[in-house]
Amino acid sequence: MINSVITSKYCKNGTFLRRIQSFVSRNRKLSDSQSNFISMYWPKFGIDFSQFYINIDDYFHFHFPLILEIGFGVGDSLLRYALRNPSKNFIGIEVYLPGIVSCLKHINFHSLKNVRIIYHDAVEVLNNMICDKTLHEIQIFFPDPWPKRRHRKRRIFTKMFARLILKKLVFNGILHISTDCQSYAEEIVSIVHDISGYSNLSNSNSYISRPKFRPFTKFEKKAIRFNNSVFDLMFKSV
C-alpha cells in the first residue's frame, strides 16, 4: 500500500538513484496502522515527487512567503515554525519514513493548512520541482555531518548545492543552517564565501548567535547533552 502512495519510481531497494547520497536509508518496515495512516493523509498533506516544476499555489490555501526545510526529521522545527507563523507557507523534505508518519500525524492533529511535505531526495526536488526565485527561506537544521574524512563527500552541502540553493531563493532570501560539527560549519562558511550572490549575516563573517526563534530539536538537545557546541549560520541572497 505504501509504495503506491509515496514511494517514487526513481527509488531502488529503498535508496534514491543519485550517485553520491547525503543520506543512508534508515527506514524500518512500517506497521499496518502507519501505512494506512499515510494512505489516508498523504493525499491531503503530501506532495508527490515530479520531474517537472510544480505550481506551489496549487498546494496551499493562500499565497504566502514560502519556507523550505530540508531534512525535517520527525518535524520538530517544521511544525513549530508553521504553528507560530500562520502567514507563511512551509514545505518539508525528508527521506525517513517514520519521520514522515510522525509529521503527518501532527499536521493532521493541529489542522495545519500551511504545511506540505515531500518524501524524496532534496537535490532532486530542488532541481526538478522548485522554480527559481521561489523560496523566501531555506532551513537545514543539523544535517548529517559525516564526520569521518572518507565520508565527507556525502555531506549534502557542497559548492554545487549552495549554487542550486541560491538559484531558488528570492532576492534577500535567507539560508539558515545549524550544526554541532565544527568542521562542517567551517566548510559551509568557506563554500558560501567563494560564491558570489551570498552575504553572511554574521558580524564576524562566520557564525551568528543562536536565534531565539529557532526551535530546539532532539538533535540539538543531544548535542548539548554531549557538551557539543552548536553553530548557526545565516546567509542572505543579494
Is 232 marked within a binding site? no
Q: Which residue has the cell 531555506?
A: 138
Is 148 marked within a binding site? yes
Which residue of the set 57, 144, 194, 232 is catalytic?
A: 144
Is 179 marked within a binding site? no
Q: What CA–CA distance (Å, rounded) separates 231 from 38?
A: 35
Is 218 marked within a binding site? yes
Is 57 marked within a binding site? no
Is 69 marked within a binding site? yes
CB 45 within 8 A of CB 110: no
Is 144 marked within a binding site? yes
144 among known catalytic residues: yes
Is 124 marked within a binding site? no
Binding residues: 69, 94, 121, 144, 148, 180, 217-220
Positions marked catalytic: 144
Binding residues for substrate: 148, 180, 217-220
